Each structure stands twice: as structure tokens, then as C-alpha cells.
Structure 1
Amino acid sequence: MGVRMVNIDFLPLLGGAQMHTMRLSRYLSQHGVEVQVITRHHPGLPRYETIDGVSIYRTPIWHPSKVIASISFTIHALRLLQSTRQDYQIIHSHEMLSPMTIGLTASRLGGARLVINPHRGGYLGDVYKLVKQRPITGKMRLRWARRRGDAFVAVSHEIATELGEAGIPRDKIWSIPYLLDTDHFSPTKDEYRRAIRSELGMQDGFWACFTGRLVAEKGLNVLLKAWETVVRHSPDANLVIVGDGDQRSHLEELSEIRGIEKRVRFTGAVTDTVQYLQASDVYVQPSFTEGLPISVLEAMACGLPVIATGVGGVTDLLSTGENGIVIPPHDPDCLSDCLLELLSNRNLRARLGNHGRQDVIAYCAVEKVGQAHLELYHHLVDGHPHSSQPGVEMPES
């Protein structure tokens, strides 16, 4: 079987959708599927390369402006898909904007089966953008997707609900979360943890951690305001922010304004965050909107207690007092209270972290999620039957 993954951006550009696409593609390749990722080219990256058996083709971009870049990506991707039509049976479009348009056009011209995979819900999600921000062309694309899309993958209850409200038939919606290697993302023993801290230059004491893109919707300004309160009560507490993005300089300046710059560390972009997670005591996700935050999954797999805002797929994962703490967005006082509670209660940290790891293993294990995708592809290509609620059974939100 051949599968073509269509994604606007891809590694080494970091994000949940990019990491998931690579991990899924690697799994499929290891199970005999020929996978190619089609994405946009960025300066300094090779046009073609192979990583872990997955071939990556980066299309040229005529101009950096958003509209022209989208048009050039669409045209070049369609040319590639048409020229290699005999080599694949599935197009898996990651996003409902350009990648979906590419998939809809190529599947109609060449007859491949089309999987459409939105990665975000809420006001920054694909359905919202199509319905609210593009009231004419967006609704036309949704009608086209309802007719021509063979299956839709929802990584959270929120996205599944939005797809249903947009008119996608329920039997086309497959609920499948992100795939995660819970052997790689795992807790470490105390002696190794001390060694990791030494290697990373993290002194002894309490450490909270965030990993991800430093962009406005991640709510890091709220985290810094909450951290000011934490430091006032516990002057030796430390926060490490792992990642990069267009908000970094603003956030660094904000930490100085709040007088906490000595207690906040910015690492910049990190390809593999596992050591920072293993070295930390608590994970914090203060986002305003999410799909299924892969960083939360990784933190849970490492046995960290997680404090996260109740947006998107977070409520599929976390239940306050059982395997984490769910808080409202935009609430620095609530966030600081929860941080201080976990800072002072080692037993609570251990209990929440242990339960969180057990739940994420049951939910996102590599074999379970990988097999769900293989079941989906074989259902579309070979007509294999599936259950009335296809995909992976999600926790009740």
C-alpha cells in the first residue's frame, strides 16, 4: 500500500501535527506501507530526503506571501501526485485548508481514497476558519469535502463534534488520537534525573516545565504572571520554557518586567524534549485553544503531573484530582494556586503523575494508534468492515 501525507509544514519545523505525521509515517513504513510526505520547502532544507524510511518531498514556494505560497504549494503538490498516481492508494491530508484542497482535487482526478485530518478545534481550528472566516469559499470547500472525503480523522471530541455540526456523516468520522512512543517518553529514576539536570544546567529545586511553540495562543503571558506569584511564595522555584516562536523576545522581556528573569529559563528550539520533561517536577499547558496537545501527552507519559487549561482535547485526557488538574484559560490566579499546591505536595504530584502515565499508555500507545490507522486505510482500499464507532475509543470528556 502507498500513502501520501500532505502537510503544509514538516520537520524540522516543530509542532504537534508535524511530530504526529512523522511518528505515524515511521510506524506505517515499519509495517510495509510506502509513505511519502509532501510539504512546503523552507530555506536551508533539502528538497528531497529520507528519514527513517519515510521519503520527504518539499515543494518550491514562488513567493513568501501567504496567498502565493499556498497557491504554489497546491500546484506543485498536485503535479507530483498526478505524476506518481500509480504508486499510492491513500492521500492523507493534514489540515482542511490547502492540504484538503490538494487531496480533494488529486483524489477526484486520480481515484485515490482521501483521509482528511484537522488538527485543531475552536476559534483557530479548521472548521471555524472555513465557516466563519471564509463564509463563501469555506462553505463551498466543506460541501466538496462532505461529498468527496472518504474519511475524517478527529484527534479530539471537540473536533469530532465540529465535523458533525459541519455536516460530515458520523460513519465517516474516525476518532483516533495522536501516536506516542511511551517507552521513549517515560519517567526516569532519581539518580538519572539528577544527572540529566546537571547535563542541562538545571540546579536542584522545584522545576515547572512548558514545551511547545512560543506563540500567542499558548497563553504563556498568563503563565509568567502566575509564575510571579509562585516566586513570591517560593523564591527558589524555577520555570523552564522549551521551544521557540515569534513571542519569545516579548516573553523574555515580560519576565524581566515582572522581575522573575532569574527564575525563568528559555531554551530555544529543542528537537527532543524528553530530557527536560524527565528533569522537571510539573508540566504546565496554559493554552487558549488546542487540538490534542501532543506536549501534554508527552508530559503525562513521563509521569509528570499536568496542569492544563480545559480547551480542545485536554478534557479528553485530564480529570482534575485523578490524573491531572484542569483549569480555566486566562486565569493566572487559579494557575498560581495549583502550582503552589503541587509544589508543596510531593505525594499529590506522584499520584497524579502515575495515573496520567497509565492513562496515556492506554490511550495513545504506538501499536494501538498505528493499527487504527492501518484499519482505516484497509477499510477504504479493500472494503474491510469496521465498528459502528470507528477508530480508538476516547475517554469520556
Structure 2
Amino acid sequence: MASDAVSGPGRQLTALARAVAGVGIGFRVVVFHRPGRPPSAFARYLDEAGVEHVVVEDRGPLDWRLASRVRRVLERWQPSIVQTHGYKATAVAYLLRRLYAPVPWIGFFHGSTTEDLKARFYHWLDRQLLGGAERIVVMSPAQARDFRRYGRRVHIIYNAALEPARAGAPSERDHVAALATRLRRPIIGVVGRLSPEKGVDLFLDACAGLARNGLVFSALVVGDGPERGRLEARCRQLALEPCVQFLGQISDVDVVYRHLDLLVLPSRSEGLPNTLLEAMCADVPVVATAVGAVPDVVGTSSAARVVTPGSAAALGEAMARAVMLGDSAADAAARQEVVRRFSIQRRVDAHLQLYRDVLDERCHRAS
């Protein structure tokens, strides 16, 4: 996995590694890291979680020797299966299959970002190269349709509902808690990467509509990304600075959820957003757009208010209703039912069956 930050897929992978260890499966993680950058926060997270891993030097997009460095690690570990997360890991696995003795490969597709031409190209390449894997795992039926040309090799495995991360320095937690005590209620939040597909611009437009209609509220935008500067400028343009604050990247998102009255997921596209499941674990009411697996998670329940994507008006109307009508015992019960259905054990069972299928298929071909 190529990740310096502790991302949603990284947290899911770590939880899976710890869980399958309980049934006797060894799970080791290769983390790509650019020299000269600060130490990998994801590697530290794996270390704290007790997950065996190795950091492999990644010298950039044209580092053709990365595959040989990973090959040496795999020769030492002798894995039964390799699974990849992200376009760089996909490219390395694809090269290893073409140049060396192949190891059964399961490729995971978590979704794509659209912030620039380079990102779009990398995600396009990821989708093409994943066709070389024995199995392709996606996060939603919509993503499965995008990979339908690969037929029965495509599987949907939903993310698990994980407790929000409790990490970072105590000073960060204290800062967020102190800020929340000064803000006017209700506090509405967005948590995630600030990139175009996350729809935070729609959230700001919806907030402007609430303010024009005289609703008193505060809003927190938690996360960082390529769109931050543009979004902050949009916030100023909409005269939202008195009620909207950008907090940047927060390691201890648990403290954020503890102070939110409503979480909003305004995404234009998603797989299965970890933020949705985290909010439900933290028992925070949710307004979300009907993208990716969100409709599958919520169904017809009141676990979240689900609206048409791409519409600031629809988003703002749902936010206003959620704030004015408040939460109910039935809503809370629906959220806990989602948490129960999307347990880590369910994810583990799906992975174990997938591993068995891949290895049985390999043995059948060998015989």
C-alpha cells in the first residue's frame, strides 16, 4: 500500500490484519515511502497495532526498481496470496506477475479522485491493470458495474464499521474539545479528504442557504487536500467565516464525532465511505448523498437521511430537517443495526472465503 497518512483503506486493512491473526492467518503489509519525507504515519499506526510490516523505498513515478525491491520482500516472506490497495501497488503486482513467477493476486479498488489530470490517469491505469488479478474486490454495486467486463472475478466486500480513530497528541484532542465548547449549537461537520469528488463545495453552498434562512449553527470542515484553498475562498465569498471553520487534518477523529450534532457526507462519488460507518459507530446523525454503497448501507431505514447527489438545495433541505426535527430513539437504533450488520467479523468471513476460492482455483489449475 502506498500511503504515508492513516487513510480509511489503511485503517480497514489494519483491522483486517489483526482480525485474521485470530484464526491463524499471517498478514504482512508492505508500505511504500518516499525518501526525504517525514516518517510514515501509516507505518507507525501499523506498529502500534502490532501488525507486521516493512517500509519499502519508493523513489517516484519512474522508479522501475520498486518492483524488484518488493520482489525481494515477497521472496523472504513467501506469501500464499498478495493483495493490493491503490494504483501503485496494483502496478507493482502487475509487473511482478509479468516478469517473475506469479503469486495469486487479489486487487482492491477503493474508488478514485479527480483533482487533476495526473490523478485521473493513475486511477484509469489502476482500473486497466486490475484486470490481471485473480480477483477484483470493490466496495459497492456501482463499482462492480464499472468492472463488469471481468465477470465473476469481481467481488463486493463492504468496509467494516470501525470505531473512530483515537490517535494523535493530547493537545490536538484538547484543542478540538475547547473549540467545540465555544461554538454555537448545533455543530454540523464534514470529515474527509478535500478533493472534488467529496462535494465539500456543495456543503458550503448548503450552509449558505441555511444561514440565509436564519438558521443558527456552526460547521466544521475536518480534513485536508488539494481543494482546501479553493474551498476556503468559497467560504469567504459566501460570507460563512463566522460559522464555518476549517480544522485541517485531525488524527483523533473520535473527539470530532463526540462534539458533532450532525455529520454530512456531500460526496459526488464514493465506494463505501468509512466516514459514514464511523459516524454510526459514534452514534452521530447523518445526512448523506445517494452515491456508491450508501443506499445499500442505509436501505429504507432511518439510519441516515439520503439525498440526491450534486444538489446543494437537496442537501441543505435535509440538513435543516435533521437539525430542526432532531434525533430519535428509532434513528439511533437504526444506526446501531447498521453497525451490527457491517461488523469486522462479516468482513473477515468474506475475506476468508475469497482466500479459499483463490487458492482452491490455483490448486485445481495445477492439478
Common fold, TM-score beyond 0.5?
yes
In structure 2, the partner of 1:151 is 135
2:162 corresponds in structure 1 to 181
Aligned residue among 33, 37, 44 for 2:38? 44
Give me the whole-angstrom Cα distance separating, in 2, the residues matched to 1:315 and 1:72.
Answer: 43
* Other-structure match for 2:168: none
Q: Is the 8 A contact 1:92 1:114 kept in 2?
A: yes
- Assess, with a 3 A threshold, how the Cα gap between structure 1 residues 252 and 152 changes in structure 2: closer, same or farther: same
Distance in 2, matches of 1:306 and 1:101, equals: 36
Map of 1:162 onto structure 2: 146
Of residues 58, 67, 76 in structure 1, which corresponds to 2:69? 76
Alpha-carbon distance between aligned partners in 1 of 2:40 and 2:187, rounded to the nearest angstrom: 38
State the secondary structure of the residue aligned to 1:323: coil
CA–CA distance in structure 1, aligned partners of residues 196 and 231 of structure 2: 10
| SS of equivalent residue, structure 1 residue 28 | helix
One-letter identity of the residue aligned with 2:159 = Y
Question: Given that residues 154 and 174 in structure 1 are in contact (C-alpha distance below 8 angstroms), is that contact kept between their aligned partners in structure 2?
Answer: yes
Secondary structure of the 2:55 match is strand
Cα distance per residue 1:250-291 (max 9 Å; x no partner): 222322221111211222211231221132111111111111
Match of 2:89?
99
Distance 1:285 1:315, change over 3 A: same
2:353 aligns with: 375
Quick check: 1:121–1:162 contact (8 Å CA) kept in 2? no
Q: Could you tell me how far apart the structure 2 residues matched to 1:154 and 1:356 are? A: 23
Q: Matched residues in 2 for 1:77 and 1:200: separation?
A: 45
Given the superposition, is the C-alpha separation of residues 74 and 129 from structure 1 closer, same or farther in structure 2, using an over 3 Å criterion? farther
Q: CA deviation at 1:326?
A: 1.9
Residues 184 and 216, structure 2, Cα contact 8 Å, conserved in 1: no
- When residues 9 and 311 of structure 1 are mapped into structure 2, their CA distance, relative to the original with a 3 A threshold, is same
Tell me which of 313, 326, 337 is aligned to 1:346: 326
Aligned with 2:15 (options 20, 23, 31): 23
Q: CA deviation at 1:298?
A: 0.9
Residue 226, structure 1, aligned to residue 206, structure 2:
yes
List aligned pairs for 1:318-333, cutoff 5 A. 318-319=298-299, 322-333=302-313
What is the CA-CA distance between 1:54 and the residue it aligns to? 1.3
Q: CA deviation at 1:320?
A: 6.1
The 1:57/1:199 distance shift into structure 2, 3 A limit, reads same
Give the equivalent residue in structure 1 for 2:365.
Answer: none
Report the Cα distance in structure 2 between the residues aligned to 1:17 and 1:268, rounded to whole angstroms.
Answer: 19
How far did 1:121 drift?
A: 6.5
Query: Is 1:305 matched up with 2:285?
Result: yes
Cα pair 1:319 1:326 within 8 Å, conserved: no
Please give the alpha-carbon distance, in whole angstroms, between the structure 2 residues aligned to 1:36 and 1:329: 38
8 Å CA contact 1:309, 1:328 repeated in 2: yes
Shift of 1:361: 1.9
AA of the residue aligned to 1:377:
Y
8 Å contact kept, 1:107–1:113 = no
Does residue 56 (structure 1) correspond to residue 53 (structure 2)? The answer is yes
Q: Percent identity?
A: 22
> How do residues 350-369 of structure 1 correspond to structure 2 at under 5 angstroms?
350-362=329-341, 364-369=342-347
In structure 2, how many angstroms separate the alpha carbons of the residues matched to 1:327 and 1:267? Answer: 26
1:218–1:46: structure 2 CA closer, same or farther, 3 Å change rule? closer
Partner secondary structure for residue 345 of structure 2: helix
Cα deviation for residue 347 of structure 1 reads 4.4
1:90 counterpart letter in structure 2: I
The alpha-carbon distance between structure 1 residues 142 and 249, as it changes in their structure 2 partners (threshold 3 A), is: closer
1:31 to partner: Cα distance: 3.9
Q: Aligned in 2, Cα 1:138/1:328: closer, same or farther, shift over 3 Å?
A: closer
Displacement after TM superposition at 1:212 (Å): 0.7
Q: CA deviation at 1:17?
A: 1.9
Unaligned runs of 5+ in 2: 166-175, 363-367
Structure-2 separation of matches of 1:46 and 1:225: 35
1:85 Cα deviation after fit: 5.0
Q: Does the alignment pair 1:118 with 2:99?
A: no
Counterpart for residue 393 of structure 1: none
Number of paired residues?
343
The equivalent of 1:32 in structure 2 is 24
Counterpart AA for 1:80: V
Match of 1:9 among 3, 13, 16: 3
Is contact 2:14-2:49 (8 Å) kept? no
CA distance in structure 2 between the aligned counterparts of 1:380 and 1:220, rounded to whole angstroms: 40
Counterparts of 2:339 and 2:217, CA distance in 1: 28
- Contact 2:111–2:270 under 8 Å retained in 1: yes
Unaligned runs of 5+ in 1: 1-6, 186-195, 385-397
Q: Distance in 1 between matches of 2:178 and 2:162?
A: 25
Q: Is the 8 A contact 1:310 1:326 kept in 2?
A: yes
C-alpha distance in structure 1 between counterparts of 2:204 and 2:146, whole Å: 32
Counterpart Cα distance in 2 of 1:116 and 1:84: 21
In structure 2, C-alpha distance between the alignment counterparts of 1:62 and 1:314, rounded to whole Å? 37
The alignment status of 1:247 with 2:231, answered yes or no, reads: no
Counterpart-to-counterpart distance in 2, 1:132 and 1:91: 20
TM-score (ref. length: structure 1):
0.76
Deviation at 1:313, TM superposition (A): 1.8
